Amino acid sequence: MDDKRQIAIVGPGNIGKATGLAMIQHGLGDVVFWGRDEDKLRGTKLELMSCVDGDEDFDVCVSTNPAIIAGSDVVVVTSGKPRTGNMTRADLIKENAPIIEKVGAVIAQHAPDALVILVTNPLDAMVELMNRTSGLPENKIIGMAGILDSRRFRGLLAEELGVRPHEVEGIVIGQHSDSMVPLFSSATLRGRRLDDLVAAGKMSRERLDGVKTNVASTGATILRLNGMTAYLSPAACATDIAESYLTGKAREFPASVRPRGVYGQDGDISIGVPVIVNEEGVTPFEIPLSPDEKAAFERSVADQVKQNQALDEFLSWRSLSLEDAPGEEPPFQPA
């Protein structure tokens, strides 16, 4: 890669702006924003240019023209509608699938060599849609979710155990939803397995089960308490993924990708598994699971397969629409 990096961010909302700031503060390169609202884009640039003292070597550019992302090394996709009210994940797929499909086509045209980091929900379905429709290589498409869920897991464990977060290790795999799978069998406190501490009577299984429940609801809790979805933590996690890719300093994260054989998953499904991120892209791998965790992961996969039926419906509708009216793009309104 060239010395001068460029990070493109699709969408100037809260997550997009926070991601841009984190990229600048980490010194990862120039930041460009592509969006639809010219005023918001200009406001984003003015705000970000005022966040540092002026000694950093970076630039911020914004445009409603998708060509602004040309040649980007990393593209972070934050565009899309949030889930609201009684909206199901299938409903959200119908809202965001057309957006992500178009974004994927733009990336393939203008930045085909970029690492694509998706943040848009429902995360696993949007990663799979990008894999199915963009033509971009699988090892360059990654969904930021598992790393965020894992950090929430570690933070809740630390709070429950009365220790600092860095003293706890633990990851979450599976779907970014209520069916996510915190891996207690490999979780540790100061290097000691939590399961061993439970077996020794030094902590209760009930306390850990409570953490498991709270991990899956953290996002909803943040929304309820703050009146808006989380944006600082997703930005930090996306930036860490980008940094590993841009610097070549390999790191391990749980993230949504096509597993391709990991935990026996060979089908066209994207879901959270452990991955290595380096300058070559993303490589999934396995860590041992307990029998209960393996069963929970398989249930999470099955849930994602059902969710992907809305993707199938969208793609079928798109195919029929293009055949019936080439060049036209009517609203997505499947039965």
Above 80 in pLDDT, residue 318? no
Distances (CA, A) of 314 to 9, 77, 121, 175: 25, 20, 16, 20
Above 90 in pLDDT, residue 262? yes
Above 70 in pLDDT, residue 32? yes
Average pLDDT for 226-236: 90
Rg (CA), the chain: 20
Distances (CA, A) of 64 to 12, 31, 41, 109, 110: 11, 15, 8, 16, 14
Q: 93-97, 99-103, 200-204, 294-298: which has the minimum mean pLDDT?
A: 200-204
Banded model confidence at residue 136, pLDDT cuts 50, 70, 90: very high
pLDDT of amino acid 329: 37
Q: Rounded to whole angstroms, how far apart are CA atoms 194 and 234?
A: 27
In which order are the strands placed within the sheet that holds 168-169? 168-169, 188-189, 192-193
pLDDT of amino acid 174: 96
pLDDT of amino acid 321: 59
Residue pointed to by tokens 């057309």: 98
pLDDT of amino acid 320: 67
Which residues on adjacent β-strands are paired with residue 30?
6
Q: Are 186 and 288 in contact (CB under 8 A)?
A: yes
The Cα diameter of the chain in Å comes to 67
List the chain domain ranges: 6-143
Cis amide leading into 288 (omega within 30): no
Higher per-residue confidence, 223 vs 193: 193
pTM: 0.92
Which residues on adjacent β-strands are paired with residue 10?
34, 77
Which pair of tokens denotes residue 125? 């379905």
Where are the extended beta strands (E) located within 45-189? 60-63, 74-77, 115-118, 141-143, 168-169, 172-173, 181-182, 188-189
What is the DSSP code (8-state) at residue 265? -
Which residues are identified as catalytic? Answer: 176
Q: What are residue 84's phi and psi, to 5 degrees? A: -135, 160
Above 60 in pLDDT, residue 335? no
Q: To the nearest whole number, what is the mean pLDDT of the chain?
A: 89
Instruction: Give the model confidence (pLDDT) of 105-119 as tens digits.
Output: 999 999 999 999 999
Domain 6-143 sits in which CATH superfamily? NAD(P)-binding Rossmann-like Domain (3.40.50.720)
